[in-house]
Amino acid sequence: MELNADFSKRASVHGAKTDWVPSPMKGVDRRMLDRIGDEVARATSIVRYAPGSHFSPHVHTGGEEFLVLNGVFSDEHGDFPTGSYIRNPPESSHTPVSEPGCTILVKLWQFDLKDRTHVRIDTNKMRALTDPARLGVSITPLFHDDREDVRLEIWEPGTSVDLPVPGGIEVFVLEGSFVENGETFEQQSWLRLPCGASLKATAGSKGCRVWIKADHLKETPKPPAK
């Protein structure tokens, strides 16, 4: 399966307006944003766990990164409420469950296969830092290495964002809205821009809070090795 698989082009999905697709596990549904591959795939998705649902124990051969959008996600490593940012590196394993139900933004098979760094952050306990170089923008850093930069950003109402993205960028709306290229992005909307593009956006009247992943498209994304 291929969905938004041409990474040289702009792509967008309005997740809140997209149908849920059942996964192989009962009670776990998905809204797919981009994908290369079938059940084992390089994928970006919004995943919803119904109350009391669970996933079978599994190993993340290519790594898993996710942000809890609502509810509580749990596994043998702990309980992760709304706002938790998790990186489970390649060869890590867990048994996911959600007693109250939850929704997560999740990315699979997008790690350096040698990466072994676990990250577990409760962003509710972090303070956004004003960006001195960008008026009306505050940043909460989540992860940074030579391959990528992951962060939360808050854009004040009406803020104009003009950001070169030499290594590409993905922007996912958590709260509020913004307009880019004449298109309005609201909660659970996702935008991907290719390497060499510029993000030119304007925050809505209530501002905007977004999850951003940048500089990670410098190497052409590939499907998982078989």
Residue 146 in this model has a pLDDT that exceeds 90: yes
Instruction: Say what percent of the chain tops pLDDT 70.
Output: 100
Average per-residue pLDDT in the chain? 95
Contact partners, residue 17, CB within 8 Å, separation at least 6: none
All structural domains of the chain, each given as residue ranges with its CATH number in brackets, are 2-9+17-123 (2.60.120.10), 125-214 (2.60.120.10)
pLDDT of residue 226: 63
Give how far Cα 98 sits from Cα of 16, 36, 80, Å.
Answer: 21, 27, 10
Question: For 166-188, what is the mean pLDDT?
Answer: 98
User: Does 209 have pLDDT greater than 80?
Assistant: yes
- pLDDT per residue over 30-72, tens digit each? 999 999 988 889 999 999 999 999 888 888 899 999 999 999 9
Q: Considering Cα of 163, then 179, then 124, then 113, what sign does the dihedral take?
A: negative
